[in-house]
Every structure is written in structure tokens, then in C-alpha cells.
Amino acid sequence: MKFKRLAEYFEKIEKTASRLEMTEILAELFKEASVNEIDEIIYLSLGKLRPKYEGVEFNMAEKMMLRVASTAYEVDLNKAREIFKKKGDLGEILEEIENKGKVLDKNLSVAEVYKRLMDIAVDEGQGSQERKIQNMAVLIRDLDQLSARYIMRFPVNKLRLGFSDMTVLDALSWMKKGDKSLRKDLERAFNVSVDIGKIAVIFKEKGLQGIAAVKVEPGVPIRMAMAERLPNAEKMIEKLDVFAVEPKYDGLRVQIHLNKGKYVQLAGQEEIFGKAKKLVRIFSRNLDNMTDMFPDIAEAVEKLKARTIILDGEAVGYDAKTGKWLTFQETIQRKRKHGVKSKIKELPVKVMVYDILYINGQTLLTKPFRERRKILEGVMAKADGNLVLARQEIVSDVKDLRKLLKQYLREGLEGVMCKKLTTEYQAGSRNFNWVKFKKTNESELVDTIDCVVMGYYAGKGRRSGFGIGAFLVGVRDKEGKIGSVAKIGTGLSDEQWKEIKRRADKVKIEEKDKRYVVDKNLEPDVWVKPEIAVEVMADEITRSPIHAFGLALRFPRLVEFRDDKDLEQITNRKELEKIFKMQRS
């Protein structure tokens, strides 16, 4: 496929706000794409070059892209800046510049453009920034103006198409069946192997039979299981009967992968697993590769008595002198690219391991939790001190559950996790196999709400110095819309106000994101991309005539920034409605 043709599809998608119409346009695109290029087309459509967990980034800011525009069309840099200030969109700069024959339009294929983008992205070392600018400028000149619009936006992740991996799965189903009926099968494969480009290639070439054969592979993250909520101990007993209770840690969710690079053969099976380079990978909740940030944990993982393994757990910082657990905001400081060695001594962490998903070439996802726990206990028996088996007690009555909850709260933990003993690991799902219980105050919600910041309002009075006086937060629905649920204007320290302003200004946009549902009376002064996740506490959820989904948070206040979560992990509309009903149960 020629890239010009792909750009035409992008333009169609950009012009529609309908999720169904987007899905149908993508399905047409996927039909037209060949098996050899569908993965690259999907990555490009999502504003990526590779799956997120591989961490391929451009590292090119808007200032660099303005230099690209200036170089490509041989226009004064100040002129490019002036146009950008007026338009607010890198993609539209070139359309304002008189190119005077600078566009060569070589009618490049998707594969050619993709390769050149990849070469630019991975260019490192001395002089790499200048090479990136020059090579991107040459690429822009080699493209027609519509194609150049999207390539200009690409390095700064502002493609403005507004869909996610889940829409891609819907579109793949639509490609084959003309509806979403195959979405469940596709999502099952994606849950255990999150390379969506690979899933698309398999589906395009081999259909459902190929998708059914997708297996867990060390080094490729599995979408993590998530917990539901229940309002009280009585409901826990009623729903779960006899179950495991573990402490709920306020840390960084981690998924640990190990492959020692040896052959692994299961008895009675011909297939040989392994034969891969030695690897240790530590993935975050939103599937970022954090391995380089935790060399102490990686070293401990390598000592495990297993050839291949995948573990699920929580990395929690602790005070080396007192042994007390640290808060999430303290632990998150370990998520850094520079000064890692010095931070290890300053802020040590332990991983509380509570599940095992794979060992020695065998997936454990379908085994009941009771069996997985037994296998995990064997693996953890001689584990390094940085890897700790999570405590667990079997509970069947309200008295014991409440006793454990109080004990863990006294220890500075968040509460308890209650887990059914008989169920398999539900990758990518939120259900009552796992239930969290954090309630500490009868006047508050049964849990905090994870929201995304949508925009902010200019400050007045004392806050005028901060440039921000309140901010709008929302949650998402199953169609991908993001609706407001609260305007937060109190309860923040001066430092928090400065921090939210700093973060918001990094991702501010000129126009409202087309996914946002916000009443005109609530529209903020500055819109931002839905990339800042925050944990919010409120007294209750109330009916609202003004907020998007008819519900609002009463007396909302910021708990903390959730840098480990993205749009896929925040609270959704269905969960919000469940919590609203729990208040009355």
C-alpha cells in the first residue's frame, strides 16, 4: 500500500467522532492491507512504531519538529513558529507554508515510510538529534502534503485519530465478519500476547484457528488481571465463600519475565520451548518496560530456580532503617532513567509476589489459584530477599476478614485483596475472582476513583500565581468516550498545584479532544490530552444533571498521581455506576 493511501484513511478517521464509523473505516483499511504490512499499518495508526512494551520512542519534541518544517520547506524558523502558534497543530504548519516546489512526492509505500521512521527513531549517540531533524525533513519533502501532515504529528504523539487497541480488535472482527462478534476471541489472544500487530498478522493469514493458537511467551507481557469491589465484609463472604486473603500493597504493579535461554522440553510433548536469548523483563501495570530501572530486582529474578517464568506482584519501597513500607508516591521515584544506582541505596524495594502465570514452558493461566499458589510457594522457597512471597490466609467468616483488614491497615498497607481459590487467572479482566477492600471510613467511598485529567481552569486570587485554580477529571466508557465526573479545586498543597500545572502544560492541546464529553458550563480554560492519571477520593458519588454520565464525585480531593496507569487502567463508567450502587447496599 502507498503511504498516500494510508493518509487518506487517516483523514477519514480524523473527521469522524463516531466510534462505529471509525471501526468500519479501519476494517476497510485492514481488508486492503496485505499480510506483510498490516502490522506496520496498525502500529502507525496507533501512533507507534512497535508495541508499547518494546519502548521504541522518537525523543523529538515540538521544537525539533518546527526545525523539521523549517528545513523541509526552506522557510525561516520564526515563520514556522508563528504559524504553529496560530494553528496549534504541527500537521497544519506545512499547509500554510508556500512550498514552491519543495514537495517531491515520491509516492512512497507504507513499508518505505515505516523503515525510514524506524531508522530515525533508533538513531542514537553524538549528533543524533541533528541527524533526526535532517532525515525527517528529507522524508517530509518526499511525501505529498496530506501524508506529511500525519508524519509531522507522529514523533510528538499527536496523530489526533482518537482510538485505542480495543477499537483495532473491533475493526479486525469487522474486517472478517462485518460485526464485532469475533472480538472476544481476538481479545483473548491479545490478553496473553499484547503485540497487536502480531495478532493482526496471524488473524489476517490464519483466521480464528491461528488466533486460538496464540500462547504465552516470556518477554511478551500478559495483560494483568484486575480486582472488583464490594462494599463490606458481609458481601465478601456472601460472594466468595472460602477464599484467600492477602495484604493490599500501595506500590507499583509488576509483571516479571525470565528466560535463561536454555531448551525446555515438557514430558510427553514434542514442542521445545525456550531456545531464546537470556532475558529478564520487568513490566509495569500499563506494560512499560521498567527492567533498567530495577537492576536489583532483575538480579534477584535471575537467581530463581526456573528456566522460564512469569510472576505477578507489587514492588513496594521501604525504609531500610525501620522496615516500614513507603507510600506509592515515594516508591514511584524508583521509576527513572537516570541516577538508578544511587536511588537503589536511597530507596530500596521489595517485590511482594502473589501469583505465577508461567513456568518452564508451561502456561499456568488456566490452573486454579490454589494450584498456582502451591507452585509459587515452591519457586519462592529459596528466592532472593528482594523477592518475597506475599502473605496469605484462608478465610471463611466475617470476623477473621475484619481482623486481617485492621491488622494490614495498622501496618500502613491499603487494605486486603480477597481471591477465589478455584478460578483461573483472568488476563485483562476485572471480575469477582479478585476483590479489593480498602474501606477505612464509613463516610467515604468503598474505594478511590482513578480518573484522567481533561483540562484546567485559570487560577484566581492567591492561586493566580500558579496559573491554575481547579482541574477537570473524567472516566471512560466502553465506547471510548471520556466524560467529566468532577471539578477539583480544593485540598491540594501548593506543591501539588504546581505539579499538576507542570504536568498539564506538557500535554496541553488547542482544541477539546473529540473523545471528551463535557457540558459547556464546565469547559476548562486549557484542554489537555488524556494522559495524566490521578487517584481521587470523595465522600460519595451523587446524581448529576451536568456531568457527562449523570454521576459526579462529591467533595473530591486528589490522593496522588498514578504514573503507573494510563487510559486503559483508569476507572470506567461501568465501575463508577457499580460503586454508586454499593453506597446504597
| pLDDT tens digits, one per residue of 156-215 | 888 888 888 999 999 999 999 999 999 999 999 999 999 999 999 999 999 999 999 999
pTM: 0.83
Residues with Cβ within 8 Å of 378's Cβ and at least 6 positions away in sequence, in order, are none
Q: How far apart are CA 160 and CA 511, in angstroms?
A: 11
Residues with Cβ within 8 Å of 491's Cβ and at least 6 positions away in sequence, in order, are 557, 558
Our CA angle for 474, 55, 309, nearest 5°, is: 100
Q: How far apart are CA 512 and CA 527, in angstroms?
A: 6
Q: How far apart are CA 567 and CA 476, in angstroms?
A: 8
Q: How far apart are CA 433 and CA 464, in angstroms?
A: 48
Helices (H), 54-156: 62-72, 77-87, 90-96, 110-122, 128-141, 145-153
C-beta atoms surrounding 97 within 10 Å: 18
Residues with Cβ within 8 Å of 155's Cβ and at least 6 positions away in sequence, in order, are 58, 60, 64, 65, 121, 136
- Kindly state the cell numbers that stand for 550: 449523570
- Evaluate the CA torsion angle 352, 391, 363, 286 in order and state its sign: negative
- Spatial contact of 172 and 24, defined as CB atoms under 8 Å apart: no
Residues with Cβ within 8 Å of 273's Cβ and at least 6 positions away in sequence, in order, are 263, 264, 265, 266, 308, 360, 361
Q: How far apart are CA 409 and CA 414, in angstroms?
A: 6
pLDDT at 31: 97
pLDDT tens track for 104-127: 788 999 999 999 999 999 998 899
Q: Which residues are catalytic?
A: 248
Q: How many alpha carbons lie under 13 Å from residue 370 in its C-beta half-sphere?
A: 7
- Kindly state the cell numbers that stand for 73: 520547506
Q: How far apart are CA 130 and CA 292, in angstroms?
A: 27
- Spatial contact of 475 and 485, defined as CB atoms under 8 Å apart: yes
Question: What b/e readout covers 161-190, taking b as 16+ CB neighbours within 10 angstroms?
Answer: bbbbbbbbbbbbbbbbeeebebbebbbbbb
Instruction: List phi, psi (to 5°) of 477.
Output: -110, 180
Could you read off the pLDDT tens digit of each residue along the chain, which spans 585 residues? 999 999 999 999 999 988 899 999 999 999 999 999 999 999 999 999 999 999 898 888 889 999 999 998 888 899 889 888 888 888 888 888 766 566 778 899 999 999 999 999 999 889 999 999 999 999 999 999 899 999 999 998 888 888 889 999 999 999 999 999 999 999 999 999 999 999 999 999 999 999 999 999 999 999 999 998 887 888 889 999 999 999 999 899 999 999 997 544 444 443 444 455 689 999 999 899 999 999 999 999 999 999 999 999 999 999 888 888 888 888 888 888 778 888 888 899 999 999 999 999 999 999 999 999 999 999 999 899 899 999 999 999 999 999 999 999 888 888 899 999 999 999 998 889 999 987 544 445 667 899 999 999 987 766 667 889 999 999 999 888 999 999 999 888 888 999 999 999 999 988 899 899 999 999 999 999 999 999 998 888 999 989 999 999 988 999 889 988 888 889 999 999 988 888 755
Of residues 558, 555, 539, 538, the one with CA closest to residue 493 = 558
Question: What b/e readout covers 423-439, taking b as 16+ CB neighbours within 10 angstroms?
Answer: bbbbbbbeeebbbbbbb
Of residues 171, 159, 135, the one with CA closest to residue 31 = 171
Helices (H), 251-354: 295-302, 328-331, 340-346
- Spatial contact of 196 and 165, defined as CB atoms under 8 Å apart: yes
Of residues 488, 486, 484, 465, the one with CA closest to residue 475 = 484
All domains of the chain in start order, with CATH: 226-437 (3.30.470.30), 449-582 (2.40.50.140)
Q: How far apart are CA 553 and CA 534, in angstroms?
A: 14
Our CA angle for 544, 545, 548, nearest 5°, is: 80
From its phi and psi, is residue 529 left (phi > 0), alpha (psi between -120 and 50) or beta?
beta
Task: Write down the mean pLDDT value for the chain.
Answer: 90
Q: How far apart are CA 37 and CA 113, in angstroms?
A: 12
How far does CA 65 lie from the centroid of its chain?
Answer: 26
**Amino acid in the structure at residue 378:** G
pLDDT at 266: 46
